[in-house]
């Protein structure tokens, strides 16, 4: 019998599990995919919003501002990259009123340092802005982060503190039992728990329905993104938004914490919760809207494009409720990433208020070694490590400078990667300009070796996503 089962290992579930892992509780995280951070968490704008655009008094506003305040400490403890680069919401002259309203809302929401900047200062701040832009909101507390790095680190830290993780566990049934719930997977495996946290993202409505709550409605809103080479990481220093519409915050142009430049997203409401196809129209829209904000965009430096789905709730606000041992966290669309640490804190309070009995563990350790620590070491420190373990002297991914030692770590440290994309999200191998062209065969070899599985069974992201079909003629 678990004390807490968390359904869904996105950024929200991960931070909830990590927050609760400090208590003497038996915690289990369930995830239907072959890795954590596989839903909305994997593909979004990677922004910690300052908190100026949610309506005053809403959960979104409260949790965003609080989450943004907490993020610095959370990322420091978890060894996750975080950069307070500041956000700009730019406007043409015709949109000035909207931006002024936004500044007022930011002040009302308690966002620190938010102000209006005029044309001259604006163009000095960002020389690549479209010359016609007139003014902007500047929020110095806006930041950038890598959402899957945060999620992997949070799950890893929760596991280091005793939490368990079951991957490929798709919840298909939840039954009320004496003193808790029986949660059953599509493969027929059942686990029992006292408390159930529903952080299932796009499927939080389905999970809510299994717990008897038919009122939760969530639909996907798709968004195309384009990612540019690290050569372009200095194109702008702030995250540049355009004045928002009711479909979202428009197309942003932003550096990433890994030094790339990100453009996107589009916003299209759809029905299919699995439809992450990119479209030619989407690309065209990203490019044309990004060009409203900036000039001289080096579009020949695009290294990849992707599509993410936001889990949009029916109420316009986050849907957070506790009912009879179930906590539902639904409709956690933007600013969900920014709010995640605060949502976790909120869940902690709901549980303790509900009388959950638990003491803080004596050996609780909130610190996780940074995933990318090796890169940051001095030559002497690196040589110390290479002397002990020569695998750190063997370069596998030449674009991002990732060694065999780091890849083996990704396959052995909590939560362990089991496929190529898992290794990629943990180490960045294959994320550079050649996009895995050179290193993927070596990564396949290392996965097969470390996991003790046949070469041809290694997948890109679990399931039927195999890389090879078997041996060539000569070897059969």
Partner 1 sequence: MKSVDLVIVGGGPAGMSAAVAAYDAGIKDILILERDKSLGGILRQCIHNGFGLHRFKEELTGPEYAYRYEIQVKERNIPFKTETMVLDISEDKVVTAMNSTDGMFQIKAKAIILAMGCRERPKGALNIAGTRPAGIFTAGTAQKFVNMDGYMPGKKVVILGSGDIGLIMARRMTLEGAEVKAVCELMPYSGGLARNIEQCLNDFGIPLMLSHTVVEIHGKERVEGVTIAKVDDRRRPIPETKQYIECDTLLLSCGLLPENELTRAAGISIDRITSGAVVDENRQTDIEGVFACGNVLHVHDLVDYVSEESDIAGKAAARYIKGENAAALPCTVELETDGRVRYTVPQRIVGKEDVTVYFRVADVFRDIKITVRDGERVIISKKKQKVAPGEMETVKITKDMLASLEGNKLTFSIE
For the question of residue 49 being annotated catalytic, the response is yes
State the angle between helix axes of 11-20 and 336-353 in degrees (0 to 180), rounded to the nearest 10. 40
Decide: is 280 part of the binding site for partner 1 (CB under 8 A).
yes
Closest distance to partner 1 from the beta carbon of 395 (Å):
4
Decide: is 455 part of the binding site for partner 1 (CB under 8 A).
yes
Decide: is 306 part of the binding site for partner 1 (CB under 8 A).
yes
Decide: is 459 part of the binding site for partner 1 (CB under 8 A).
yes
Q: Which of 83, 276, 315, 457 binds partner 1 (CB under 8 A)?
A: 276
Contacts of 282 (CB under 8 A, 6+ apart): 222, 224, 266, 268, 307
Closest by CA to 304, choosing from 273, 263, 258, is 263
Question: Of the ranges 15-23, 114-122, 298-306, 308-316, which one interacts with partner 1 (CB under 8 A)?
Answer: 298-306
The span from the CA of 424 to the CA of 405, in Å, is 14
The span from the CA of 197 to the CA of 210, in Å, is 13
Cβ proximity to partner 1, 40 vs 68, nearer residue = 40
Residue pointed to by tokens 């003497």: 24
Decide: is 304 part of the binding site for partner 1 (CB under 8 A).
yes
Decide: is 115 part of the binding site for partner 1 (CB under 8 A).
no
The distance of Cα 281 from the centroid of its chain, to the nearest Å, equals 25
Site residues for partner 1, 210-239, by CB under 8 A, read 226-227
Cα torsion angle, 302, 288, 95, 221, sign: negative
The span from the CA of 25 to the CA of 357, in Å, is 9
Question: Of the ranges 139-147, 212-220, 246-254, 301-309, which one interacts with partner 1 (CB under 8 A)?
Answer: 301-309
Which of helix, strand or coil describes residue 319? strand
Decide: is 465 part of the binding site for partner 1 (CB under 8 A).
yes
Which of helix, strand or coil describes residue 183? strand
Closest distance to partner 1 from the beta carbon of 460 (Å):
4
Closest distance to partner 1 from the beta carbon of 246 (Å):
26
The span from the CA of 406 to the CA of 395, in Å, is 10
Question: Of the ranges 127-135, 157-165, 295-303, 365-373, which one interacts with partner 1 (CB under 8 A)?
Answer: 295-303
Q: Could you tell me the end-to-end alpha-carbon distance of the chain, in angstroms, rounded to an integer? A: 48
Cβ proximity to partner 1, 117 vs 297, nearer residue = 297
Q: Are 284 and 256 in contact (CB under 8 A)?
A: no
Closest distance to partner 1 from the beta carbon of 252 (Å):
19
Residue 435 is classified by DSSP as: T
Which of helix, strand or coil describes residue 379? helix
Which of helix, strand or coil describes residue 134? coil
Decide: is 456 part of the binding site for partner 1 (CB under 8 A).
yes
Closest distance to partner 1 from the beta carbon of 167 (Å):
16
Binding pattern for the stretch 155-174 against partner 1, x by CB under 8 A and - elsewhere: --------------------
At residue 162, φ and ψ (nearest 5 deg) are: 105, -10
Closest distance to partner 1 from the beta carbon of 274 (Å):
7
Cβ proximity to partner 1, 20 vs 303, nearer residue = 303
Which stretches of 287-410 are assigned E, i.e. beta strand?
A: 302-313, 319-323, 326-330, 395-397, 402-403
**Catalytic option among 49, 238, 242, 372:** 49
Cβ proximity to partner 1, 113 vs 463, nearer residue = 463
User: Which residues lie across from 6 on neighbouring strands?
Assistant: 29, 197
Closest distance to partner 1 from the beta carbon of 171 (Å):
20
Closest distance to partner 1 from the beta carbon of 247 (Å):
21
Burial of 188 (0-12, 13-18, 19+ CB in 10 A): exposed
Site residues for partner 1, 380-439, by CB under 8 A, read 382-383, 386-387, 390-391, 393-395, 398-399, 401, 433-438
Total residues at interface with partner 1 (CB under 8 A):
57
Kindly list the catalytic residues: 49
What residues make contact with partner 1 under the rule CB under 8 A? 226-227, 274, 276-280, 282-283, 300, 302-306, 379, 382-383, 386-387, 390-391, 393-395, 398-399, 401, 433-438, 440-441, 444-445, 455-456, 459-461, 463-475
């Amino acid at each position: 019998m678990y004390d807490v089962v968390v359904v869904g290992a996105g950024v929200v579930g991960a931070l909830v599990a990590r927050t609760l892992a400090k208590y003497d509780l038996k915690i289990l995280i369930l995830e239907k995919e072959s890795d954590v951070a596989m839903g909305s968490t994997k593909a979004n704008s990677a922004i910690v919003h300052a908190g100026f655009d949610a309506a005053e008094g809403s959960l979104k506003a409260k949790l965003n501002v609080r989450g943004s305040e907490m993020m610095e400490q959370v990322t420091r403890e978890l060894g996750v990259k975080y950069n307070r680069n500041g956000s700009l919401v730019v406007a043409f002259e015709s949109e000035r009123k909207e931006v002024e309203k936004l500044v007022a809302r930011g002040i009302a929401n308690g966002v620190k340092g938010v102000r209006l900047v005029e044309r001259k200062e604006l163009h000095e701040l960002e020389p690549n802005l479209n010359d016609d832009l007139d003014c902007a909101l500047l929020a110095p507390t806006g930041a950038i982060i890598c959402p899957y790095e945060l999620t992997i680190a949070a799950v890893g830290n929760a596991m280091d503190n005793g939490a368990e993780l079951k991957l490929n566990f798709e919840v298909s049934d939840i039954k009320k039992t004496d003193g808790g719930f029986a949660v059953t997977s599509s493969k027929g495996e059942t686990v029992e728990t006292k408390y159930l946290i529903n952080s299932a993202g796009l499927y939080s409505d389905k999970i809510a329905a299994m717990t008897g709550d038919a009122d939760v409605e969530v639909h996907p809103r798709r968004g195309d993104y384009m990612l540019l080479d690290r050569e372009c990481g200095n194109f702008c220093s702030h995250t540049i938004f355009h004045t928002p519409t009711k479909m979202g915050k428009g197309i942003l142009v932003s550096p990433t914490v890994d030094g790339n430049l990100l453009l996107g997203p589009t916003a299209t409401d759809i029905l299919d919760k699995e439809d992450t196809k990119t479209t030619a129209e989407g690309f065209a829209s990203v490019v044309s809207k990004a060009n409203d904000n900036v000039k001289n965009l080096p579009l020949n430096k695009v290294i990849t494009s992707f599509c993410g789905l936001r889990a949009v709730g029916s109420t316009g606000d986050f849907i957070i409720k506790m009912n009879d041992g179930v906590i539902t966290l639904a409709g956690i669309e933007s600013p969900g990433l920014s709010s995640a640490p605060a949502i976790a804190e909120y869940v902690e309070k709901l549980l303790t208020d509900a009388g959950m009995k638990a003491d803080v563990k004596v050996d609780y350790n909130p610190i996780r070694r940074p995933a990318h620590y090796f890169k940051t070491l001095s030559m002497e420190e690196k040589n110390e490590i290479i002397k002990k373990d020569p695998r750190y002297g063997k370069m596998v991914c030449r674009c991002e400078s990732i060694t065999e030692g780091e890849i083996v770590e990704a396959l052995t440290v909590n939560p362990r990667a089991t496929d190529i994309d898992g290794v990629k999200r943990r180490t960045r191998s294959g994320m550079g300009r050649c996009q895995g062209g050179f290193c993927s065969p070596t990564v396949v070899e290392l996965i097969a070796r470390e996991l003790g599985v046949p070469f041809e069974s290694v997948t890109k992201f679990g399931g039927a996503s195999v890389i090879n079909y078997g041996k060539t003629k000569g070897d059969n």
